[in-house]
Amino acid sequence: MNEFHMHHLTREMISQRAKGGCAIVVPLAATEQHGPHLPVYTDSLICEHVVSGAVRQAAETVDILVSPVLTIGCSEHHLSFGGTLSYSSATYLQMLRDVGESLVTGGFRKIIFVNAHGGNAPMMLQTVNDLVVKHPIWGASTSYWSVSGAALDELQASEVGLVPGHAGGFETAAVMALRPDLVRTDRLETVHVIRDWIHTGAPGTFIGKHGELTGQDGYTDAPYQATAAAGRIYLDAITKCVADWLVTTIQAMENGGEI
């Protein structure tokens, strides 16, 4: 079976794959403001490209499907800028639980969330914890930058801006590579105040300021150094890292024995 998109299959085909031990990946994204120069669909564009490509690569080694991208996330901190669709954190948590419950009812026993928007991460982690406590299943989750950080460091991706940042040089480069027609190149600022506290602290810690969770004027850094060529390199590296993580994770589940 070469098809890896759940939404391209019939109900019988999906049930058969689920009962056979197939893993299912749920991509999480957002529709939210990305400064004056990027489309509000930025996170969803990146998510769909990365996760579909990663699942395509992983499918050469493991039995895996990917669900449709969840294109609305938890983006309340962007609402004041306009151009944003968001669930509240409580609603988003319940929505993810409902998606997980649907997959469990559908027979899946290996459920994996892959995220492309920072605001989704806390609820994603809680959802996976809740599902594996309640049901005899395997669960896993990650954000794409978590598994690709070392590779992006090697590529010196931070030279174009904060990684992943928000609507800065890094994300601008990615969109330039995917949909250059959607980038307002006439609005690429060369000067921007970077808030020192945005990436301050050890992993697992948090610091935030009302009205500036995503930086000055809703984006983290000046995007003027972004190029499509750099974006293609970053996206290829991220996709490979996510694919490798998926294979390793699913094989660990399979080696862990039946539940």
The model's pLDDT over 121-165, given as tens digits with 9 standing for 90+, comes to 999 999 999 999 999 999 999 999 999 999 999 999 999 999 999
Rounded to the nearest 5°, which phi and psi values hold at 28?
-115, 130
DSSP assignments along the chain, one per residue: ----BGGGS-HHHHHHHHHTT-EEEEEE--B--BTBTB-TTHHHHHHHHHHHHHHHHHTTTS-EEEPPPB--B--GGGGGGSS-BB--HHHHHHHHHHHHHHHHHTT-SEEEEEE--GGGHHHHHHHHHHHHHHSS-EEEEEEHHHHHHHHHHHTTGGGSSSSS-SSSHHHHHHHHHH-GGG--GGG--S--PPPTTTT-SSTT-----TT-TT-GGG-SS--TT--HHHHHHHHHHHHHHHHHHHHHHHHHHHHT---
pLDDT at residue 75 greater than cutoff 80: yes
Please give the average per-residue pLDDT across 25-47, as a whole number.
98
Check: pTM over 0.85? Answer yes or no. Answer: yes
Residues constituting the chain: 259
Instruction: Provide the residue type at 186 as one letter.
Output: D
Asked if the structure places residue 75 within a domain, the reply is: yes
- Six-digit token pair at 31? 């529709």
Which CATH number belongs to the domain containing residue 52 in this structure? 3.40.50.10310
pLDDT at residue 197 greater than cutoff 80: no
Please give the average per-residue pLDDT across 231-259, as a whole number.
95
**Gap between the Cα atoms of 152 and 146, Å rounded:** 10
- Six-digit token pair at 183? 């980038």
**Domain ranges, residue 65:** 6-255
**Gap between the Cα atoms of 179 and 228, Å rounded:** 9
Instruction: Provide the residue type at 258 as one letter.
Output: E
- Residue 101: how many CA atoms within 13 Å on its side-chain side? 8
Asked if the structure places residue 1 within a domain, the reply is: no
pLDDT at residue 14 greater than cutoff 70: yes
Asked if the structure places residue 230 within a domain, the reply is: yes
Flag the least confident range among 22-36, 77-91, 204-218: 204-218
8 Å CB contact between 68 and 193: no
8 Å CB contact between 32 and 86: yes
The closest alpha carbon to 250, from 108, 163, 138, belongs to: 138
Domain count, the chain: 1
8 Å CB contact between 242 and 54: yes
Asked if the structure places residue 29 within a domain, the reply is: yes
Predicted confidence at residue 193, as pLDDT, reads 72
8 Å CB contact between 235 and 49: yes
Asked if the structure places residue 108 within a domain, the reply is: yes
Asked if the structure places residue 158 within a domain, the reply is: yes
- Six-digit token pair at 198? 């945005």
Please tell me which residue, 215 or 147, carries the higher pLDDT value.
Answer: 147
Please give the average per-residue pLDDT across 173-202, as a whole number.
83
- State the chain's mean pLDDT as an integer: 93
